[in-house]
Amino acid sequence: MALSKLQARFTRSSATAFSAVGVAVCIAMLASGLTFAKPLSIDDLMEIQSVRDPQLSPDGNWLAYTVRRIDEEKDKRITQIWMVEADGGQPIPMTAADSSASQPRFSPDGRFLSFTASRGDDGATQVYTLNRLGGEAEQLTSIKHGISSYEWSPDGARLLLLIKDPTEAQLTEDSEDDDKPRPHVIDRIQFKRDYTGYLDRRREHLYVFTPGDEAPVQLTSGDYDADDPVWSPDGKHIAFVSDRSEEPDSYYGENVWTVSVDDEAHALTKISEDEGTARSPVWSPDGKHISYVRSVGLDVGGSALSPTRRLEIANSDGTEQQVLTPELDRNVSNPSFSDDGSRVFFQLQDEGKVHLASIKTDGEGFRRDLQGEISVDDYALRSGMRTVLAGDLQSPPELYRLNDGLLSSLTDVNAKVLGEVAQPKGEKLTFTSADGTPIDAFYLYPISYEEGQRYPTILWLHGGPASQFDFGFHTTAQLFAANGYAVILPTPRGSVGYGDAFAKATVAAWGVKDVEEVLAAVDHGIEIGLVDEDRLGVGGWSYGGILTNYVITQSNRFKAASSGASLGLVAANYGHDHYQLMYELEFGLPWQNRERWDELSPFWKVENIKTPTLWMGGALDWNVPIINSEQMYLAMKRLGQDTQLVVYPDEHHGISRPSFFRDRYERWLAWFDRYLK
């Protein structure tokens, strides 16, 4: 089932349907073979909005969600909360358009819609509530240093809060010196994290707050973080995720736990088995079981990123753990019980698609409830209502009602900006690698495509590497196609969605099989008559940038490259980025396995690069630090090669400031146009 923009409009409910004239025009255009004339522009991309976090009301009649947009004048992103009838209707804005709000949640009686926002002068995030009968939002919490997340108790009398320990300055009554710089005193092995900075011993803990009380009650403590909290149906326990091993900084794993809410000891019970990482706990409606996602098999010499995530279930007393999907060699995520507790729903990554699937609690009756050439980003189930957030190659994710496998559109936030934009042809094709392994890649054709013509082509590589290109709307690829390029989005080994062995094929062997296979994707594009082999570009961000470096140090067939947030000298990152444990598990210690660390470092092969290369990254990136791009740039410059370095100030691994977001698009186009056109 293709989730094209036009199909979504045709299935829209009558309350918000496009006019009969508009539909007739669209049908006539399709029948005549005409396409929309306007190519997608950077201005269009800056206007695209993102729908997220669908939440159904207790009766299943209403759906709340967030819409994130770019405000270029203020140079920031704004998130607004909306609500729409689950059967379809006119969406209603619930929060102001000029300030951000997130985490919409319905109170258990359905009377209130709550959310989080930072509306005070101190910038602290608090919980606010809106009475659905009308009126202004009221602040519900007043935690001095703010909260991270929250959930209503089943009876609606209390809130579960996730709160990070305060700094010493925040503990004082005087707030004037709260932001005064202080030295970082380090005594942890894991002492950095991107977006957070240097890590101290402050942790995130669970609290329960009764509105009207002076302070919340702390449930968890110790030198451990708590995450992913969720109430039991009777409100007596909370399931959560935590690494409570002897040395969390040296252990790559987490368990699901429960904590007793009302006894003074707040007793803990471990639900999942010790080995591996367990996440995303959910309670069965009767409270007797907890389902969660768990990955195992991470040992020294293995990748922290590649183990397959499977669905498990256990008794809520911590006994009888069972893998529900032992034979399903694909990643699952985001579990949720059906209303009657007989099935567990989840998202399923599978060969360039993300489906909504489910299975009975005894491990039988696996089925795909929504499948096809589609990418399901999220979903919500409640009181017999099913809604999904999904998109495809031509449509950014929107909300739909799911009924017997059919979708009815609930939102269309990008109808205005994309309604007159030409859509490139896109398809997923399969070819074989050098050793005969089937490999997939998406091929987007330029909007000006004419059969028999070959086009300048950009090979664009995904991050991860434990990720996949799927049937989703890829903004960068869309922009390249709108500007006359063919675009190849390959899924080489090391990617997910194709099984455990496929994902583990590049463990401690980056830049080998994956390089062979992305180059094979180019060769296949040449074979089908699409790609001009004399006008090739390559690029990507994060592992996409890393793989770009491996490609251009092994091949000179590309006329231009853009390497974003990538690696150069791998050992230079040890202790400087936040991956020290991942490196040690996969590569070994650098002073004991220097040969391997050197072999994985594109920097030692920089003399091979003859491709003009644009290096990019965020100045504060501690995921893949800018030192890598700086060293690669300087080496190329010393060697007399054509190169440029772009550093975005105050940015981390992902570029968030809208003006920089636009700048990056402009530079990508200018760089590839310069060398490929």
The Cα 542–Cα 566 span in angstroms is: 5
Return the H-helix or E-strand segment holding 501: helix 500-503
Distance CA 160, CA 153 (A): 7
**Residue 122 confidence class, pLDDT cut points 50, 70, 90:** confident
**Residue 573 is encoded by which pair of tokens?**
């990152």
Distance CA 389, CA 405 (A): 14
606 burial (CB, 10 Å; 0-12 / 13-18 / 19+) is: buried
Closest CA to 440 of 495, 477, 395, 369: 495
pLDDT per residue over 386-410, tens digit each?
999 999 999 999 999 999 889 999 9
What angle separates helix 475-482 from helix 658-676, to the nearest 10 degrees? 40
Q: Element (H or E) spanning 260, and its range?
A: strand 255-260
| Mean pLDDT on 80-106 | 95
**pLDDT for position 666:** 98
Q: Dihedral (C-alpha) 299, 579, 276, 508: value to the nearest 10 degrees? A: -30
pLDDT of 72 > 90? The answer is: yes
d(CA 377, CA 359): 19
- In 530-579, alpha helices (H): 543-554
Q: How far apart are CA 200 and CA 263, in angstroms?
A: 30
Given pLDDT bands bounded at 50, 70 and 90, which one contains residue 177?
low
pLDDT at 174: 63
The gap from C-alpha 318 to its chain's centroid, in whole angstroms, comes to 30
CA distance 394 to 463: 21
**Burial classification of residue 541, based on how many CB atoms lie within 10 Å of its CB (0-12 exposed, 13-18 middle, 19 or more buried):** buried
3-state helix, strand, coil in the chain (%, to 5): 20, 35, 45
Please, what is the angle between helix 513-527 and helix 543-554, to 10°?
80
Please name which of 385, 379, 423 lies closest in space to residue 2, comparing C-alpha atoms.
Answer: 423
Q: Tell me what the mean pLDDT of segment 551-560 comes to.
A: 98
Enclosing H/E stretch for 675:
helix 658-676
- For residue 3, what pLDDT is reported? 55
CA distance 463 to 621: 15
In tens, the pLDDT along 426-466 reads 999 999 998 999 999 999 999 999 999 999 999 999 999 99
> What is the value of pTM for the model shown?
0.92
Side-chain half-sphere exposure of 85, counting CA atoms within 13 A: 9
The alpha-carbon radius of gyration of the chain (Å, integer) is: 25
593 alpha-carbon distance from chain centroid: 33
Q: Please, what is the average pLDDT of the chain?
A: 91
Residue 368 φ then ψ, to 5°:
-105, 110
Helices (H), 131-250: 168-171
User: Residue 585 belongs to what H/E stretch?
Assistant: helix 580-587
- For the ranges 81-90, 169-178, 223-232, 641-650, the lowest mean pLDDT is seen at 169-178
Residues in Cβ contact with 47 at an 8 Å cutoff, skipping those fewer than 6 apart: 69, 70, 414, 416, 417
Question: Taking residues 12-34, what's their average pLDDT?
Answer: 34
Going by pLDDT thresholds of 50, 70 and 90, the confidence category of residue 226 is very high
Query: 272-313 pLDDT, tens per residue?
Result: 998 889 999 999 999 999 999 999 866 655 676 777 899 999
How far apart CA 375 and CA 384 sit, in angstroms, is 22
**8 A C-beta contact, residue 82 and residue 93:** yes
Tell me what pLDDT residue 166 has.
87
Higher-pLDDT residue of 33, 520: 520
Query: What are the backbone angles phi and psi of residue 334, rounded to the nearest 5°?
Result: 55, 60
**Between these two residues, 600 and 248, which has the higher pLDDT value?**
600
pLDDT given at position 172: 72
Domains, the chain, in order of start with CATH, read 426-676 (3.40.50.1820)
Q: Is the pLDDT of residue 1 over 50?
A: no
> When comparing pLDDT for 27 and 478, which is higher?
478
| pLDDT value for 307 | 78
Element (H, E) at 282: strand 277-283
Tens digit of each residue's pLDDT (9 = 90 or more) over 494-552: 999 999 999 999 999 999 999 999 999 999 999 999 999 999 999 999 999 999 999 99
Q: How far apart are CA 515 and CA 506, in angstroms?
A: 10
204-209 and 159-164 strand pairing: antiparallel
